[in-house]
Amino acid sequence: MSLEGRCACGVIKYKLNASPMIVHACHCRDCQRLTGSAFVINIWIERKFVEPGGADPKSFRLAGGTGKPHDVFFCGACGTYLWSRYHGAPGDFLFVRAGTLDNPDAVTPDVHIFTRSKVPWLDLPPEVPAFKAFYKIEEVWSAESMERMRRARSAQT
């Protein structure tokens, strides 16, 4: 799978050189605020598979829900948020916002998280796992994605 995306003004483009490890729909308050919307769709992927093109994104640091920092990357020209990096978990991963893909239909959420703050008017599909907060990775992820996680973590140490 090769997915491509860009910011609204187009000075930042990117390409994903692997399929997502998992796709999250996150309904937490931080994601609602950062997107100005009901939830965010994040592609969890190794940073090395995100091939940036054009200008370098700018970033700022937030205190994440876990107490570990969370860096958010955005276009300095148009302000589109492209991806985040969470420091809470080991491994070098990015969370790429699926709404910035040229074809956002290419991915669908594998899991809905932090549904405790989901907007009440939104009904989730019953066949997709949903959790009030986070979940245990080994209970949700495919064996292949678990193996990618293990490799990315051991590469970092």
Q: Does 89 bind Zn ion (CB under 5 A)?
A: no
Q: Does 77 bind Zn ion (CB under 5 A)?
A: yes
- CA-based max dimension of the chain: 44
The tokens for 5 are: 């995306």
CB of 83 to Zn ion, least distance (A): 13
- What is residue 91's DSSP assignment? S
CB of 19 to Zn ion, least distance (A): 22
Q: Classify burial at 39, counting beta carbons within 10 Å of its beta carbon; exposed 0-12, middle 13-18, buried 19 or more.
A: buried
- Positive or negative, the Cα torsion across 61, 132, 88, 75? negative
Q: Does 7 bind Zn ion (CB under 5 A)?
A: yes
> Can you tell me the distance from the alpha carbon of 94 to that of 112, in angstroms, rounded to the nearest whole number?
18
- Please identify, using beta-carbon distances, which residue of 7 and 152 lies nearer to Zn ion: 7
- Please identify, using beta-carbon distances, which residue of 54 and 91 lies nearer to Zn ion: 54
The per-residue b/e assignment along 91-112, b for 16 or more CB within 10 angstroms, e otherwise, is: bebbbbbbebbeeeebbebbbb
Mask: binding to Zn ion, 137-156, rule CB under 5 A, as x and -?
A: --------------------
- Please identify, using beta-carbon distances, which residue of 137 and 155 lies nearer to Zn ion: 137
Name which position in 22, 41, 72, 75 contacts Zn ion (CB under 5 A). Answer: 75
Name which position in 25, 28, 41, 98 contacts Zn ion (CB under 5 A). Answer: 28
> Can you tell me the distance from the alpha carbon of 108 to that of 154, in angstroms, rounded to the nearest whole number?
28
Q: Does 9 bind Zn ion (CB under 5 A)?
A: yes
**Which residues of this chain interact with Zn ion, rule CB under 5 A?**
7, 9, 11, 26, 28, 31, 75, 77-78
